[in-house]
Amino acid sequence: MTRRGGRHPEAEGTVVRLTDAAWGDLQTMLRKGDPQVVRWALKKCLLLERNPEAGKALRGKLIGFRKIVVGDRDWRLVWRATHDDSGTVVVDVAEVWALGARSDAEVYREVQDRVSQMRDDPATVPLAAAIDALGRAAYGLKASTEPDEKAAVPEWLVNTLVYVVKMPRHEVARLSPEQAQRIWNGYISNTSE
């Protein structure tokens, strides 16, 4: 489920991912011999780890996207932040869609084209992997790694804890499979005495 806006109150961190096209933008800039702009852009991506709602909201066909100035005000980083409500660990995901010159709103047209051609779940590259791959241009920069997927409590055990043990579903969602099993074992051992 995607929240309409604002940071989820239980968010533990932000995962920044670049769409394949945005990753291509960074690689193109590096090939063109502009490593300083690449470095500035990566620093802005690191800012998004702390605050995925940074920058300014875009309007028109790009509602839901945000922009931030990169470097000498001639470059724009465009992204959208999504908020995941499912599960214990709630992570904001900032998907960087484009990095480009702002001349004649070029970067905004490029994002509109990319959005219209892309499916709901675009292929992405983790920021940490992008920084590692860029080598010297990203020297000294470090992004957070993505959290491991938490093992899910089996559905039968979730339903048992909710309907038999009478635990609130949001509390069950925070449990690891081992914790859930211990609670169930404790419940059945106490009721069998």
Can you give the residue range of the structural domain that contains 62? Answer: 11-138
Predicted confidence at residue 91, as pLDDT, reads: 43
**22 pLDDT exceeds 90?**
no
Q: Which residue has the higher pLDDT, 95 or 109?
A: 109
Tokens standing for residue 192: 């069998």
Regarding whether 129 and 87 lie in a shared domain, the answer is yes
Rg (CA), the chain: 21
Does residue 133 carry a pLDDT above 60? yes
Q: Are residues 132 and 160 in the same domain?
A: no
In a domain, 159, yes or no: yes
- 164-178 mean pLDDT: 88
133/159 same-domain check = no
pLDDT at 4: 53
pLDDT one-digit tens code per residue, 136-151: 878 888 887 776 666 6
Which range (6-10, 58-62, 142-146, 170-174) has the least confidence? 6-10
Has residue 90 got a pLDDT over 60?
no
In this predicted structure, which of 34-48, 50-64, 87-101 has the lowest mean pLDDT? 87-101
Per residue, the 3-state secondary structure of the chain, as one string, reads CECCCCCCCCEEEEEEEEEHHHHHHHHHHHHCCCHHHHHHHHHHHHHHHHCCCCCEECCHHHCCEEEEEECCCCEEEEEEEEEECCCCCEEEEEEEEEEEECHHHHHHHHHHHHHHHCCCCCCEEEHHHHHHHHHHHHCCCCCCCCCCCCCCCCHHHHHHHHHCCCCCHHHHHCCCHHHHHHHHHHHHHHHCC
Same domain, 186 and 91: no
Domain shared by 37 and 91, yes or no: yes
pLDDT band for position 176 (cuts 50, 70, 90):
confident
Q: For residue 103, is pLDDT > 70? A: no
Same domain for 164 and 81? Answer: no
User: 163 and 79, same structural domain?
Assistant: no
Domain assignment present for residue 74? The answer is yes
Is 57 in the same domain as 93?
A: yes
Total of domains in the chain: 2
At residue 43, does pLDDT exceed 60? yes
With respect to residue 104, please indicate whether it lies within any of the assigned structural domains: yes
pLDDT computed for residue 8 by the predictor: 58
Contacts of 103 (CB under 8 A, 6+ apart): 74
Number of residues that make up the chain: 193
pLDDT of residue 167: 93
Q: What is the pLDDT confidence band of residue 183, given thresholds at 50, 70 and 90?
A: very high
Q: Please, what is the average pLDDT of the chain?
A: 78
